[in-house]
């Protein structure tokens, strides 16, 4: 069993993936990032086909066995992504997972994620996972651990902050890692190239007028194309850099792609823990308008914008960015926009 997320990442990088992995914990952000690391490694190793199972009331566990017995459609390695929100598969599910672990199918890995975990969740099925593969339990951070986590995340995001600034953000986050992560993403855009002390951080976090890029994302996701494009024009006129803005848009698109691929959209939305919670309504609107294939197309367009902005592709990066924003806001018109 890996003890920490960093140890888990090193374990993944060491070679082939185990046939089964369980990632569990009540802190959803940590579970998401660990699972994303596993999926990224799987793609790098040629697991190009992915099947997602969202376990809810009435889930047919025979589907797991059938997935293990079926052949790949594309002659590639496969990832079975089993999402177990409660961390309790029940009697039938426990037997199905244990059976998988006893005889893992070739060229297939099973990733199980659970958004809740305690000693009561462990059982014969999780022991079988640990014997056959690997298990990572991510416990919520203690209050005294939060500043170090924030400091490390700031450093990884290119945010240079003093200890008092880190302490201030830890105090404001009140233990909510997702809120802290979102603030750090914003600070990476707003404070590029300068060192933040507590006073500067407080000014940036409090100054809503500086958050136009976040209003842009919300306008686009909320379907207000006119407002979103006006914000783009204003940001361009003010001399804002395109690549940092694109980073936040990509974060939001990945959420849309992740939720749209889930069998239970509402459960997936709840698991994202939006901050503030009211932002979930914007995503509900977008998901009603655009299917999973649309959000994947938007991600490809974002990649095109990034390549052009970095001089690795031909075209007008700002024009392509406008196309992306319009496509996010109006999925039904996206075919013409992203052609």
**DSSP 3-state of 205:** helix
Confidence of residue 191 (pLDDT cuts 50, 70, 90): confident
Q: At 229, list the tokens.
A: 């494009």
Question: Of 250, 331, 324, nearest to 294 (Cα)?
Answer: 331
Q: What is the pLDDT of residue 69?
A: 81
Between residues 337 and 246, which one has the greater pLDDT?
246
Residue with tokens 């079988």: 128
pTM: predicted TM-score of the whole model, two decimal places: 0.63
Residue 31, C-beta contacts closer than 8 angstroms, at least 6 positions apart: 23, 24, 25, 113, 114, 115, 138
The domain limits of the chain are 5-137, 143-210, 212-337
**Average per-residue pLDDT in the chain?**
86
Residue with tokens 């994303």: 36
Phi-psi region of 317 (alpha: psi -120 to 50; beta: other; left: phi over 0): alpha
Q: Would you identify the CATH topology of the domain 212-337?
A: Zinc Finger, Delta Prime; domain 3 (1.20.272)
pLDDT in tens, 267-283: 888 877 776 677 888 89
pLDDT at position 224 over 80? yes
pLDDT (average), residues 213-232: 88
Q: What is the pLDDT of residue 209?
A: 44
Which homologous superfamily is 5-137 in? P-loop containing nucleotide triphosphate hydrolases (3.40.50.300)
Q: What is the pLDDT of residue 136?
A: 92
Which CATH number, 3.40.50.80, 1.20.1560.10, 1.10.8.60, 3.40.50.300, labels domain 143-210? 1.10.8.60
Give the C-alpha separation, 248 to 182, whole Å. 9
């Amino acid at each position: 069993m890996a003890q920490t997320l960093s140890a888990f990442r090193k374990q993944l990088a060491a070679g082939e993936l185990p046939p089964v992995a369980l990632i569990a914990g009540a802190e959803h952000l940590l579970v998401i990032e660990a699972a994303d690391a596993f999926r990224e490694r799987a793609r790098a190793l040629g697991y190009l086909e992915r099947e997602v199972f969202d376990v809810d009331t009435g889930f047919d566990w025979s589907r797991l066995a059938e997935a293990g017995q079926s052949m790949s459609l594309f002659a590639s390695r496969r990832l079975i992504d089993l999402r177990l929100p409660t961390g309790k598969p029940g009697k039938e599910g426990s037997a199905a997972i244990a059976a998988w672990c006893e005889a893992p199918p070739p060229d297939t890995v099973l990733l199980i994620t659970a958004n809740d975990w305690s000693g009561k969740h462990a059982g014969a099925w999780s022991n079988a996972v640990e014997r056959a593969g690997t298990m990572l339990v991510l416990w919520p951070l203690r209050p005294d651990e939060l500043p170090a986590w924030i400091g490390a995340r700031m450093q990884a995001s290119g945010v240079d902050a003093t200890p008092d600034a880190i302490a201030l953000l830890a105090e404001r986050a009140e233990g909510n890692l997702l809120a802290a992560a979102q603030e750090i993403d914003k600070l990476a855009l707003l404070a590029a190239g300068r060192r933040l002390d507590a006073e500067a951080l407080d000014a940036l976090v409090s100054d809503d007028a500086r958050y136009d890029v976040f209003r842009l994302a919300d306008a686009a996701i909320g379907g207000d194309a006119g407002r979103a494009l006006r914000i783009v024009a204003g940001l361009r006129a003010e001399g804002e850099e395109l690549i940092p803005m694109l980073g936040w848009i990509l974060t939001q698109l990945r959420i849309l792609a992740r939720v749209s691929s889930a069998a239970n959209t509402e459960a997936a939305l709840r698991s994202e823990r939006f901050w503030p919670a009211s932002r979930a309504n914007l995503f509900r609107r977008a998901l009603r308008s655009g299917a999973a294939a649309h959000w994947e197309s938007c991600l490809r367009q974002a990649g095109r914008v990034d390549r052009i902005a970095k001089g690795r592709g031909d075209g007008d990066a700002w024009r392509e960015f406008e196309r992306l924003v319009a496509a996010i806001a109006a999925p039904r018109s996206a075919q013409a926009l992203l052609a």
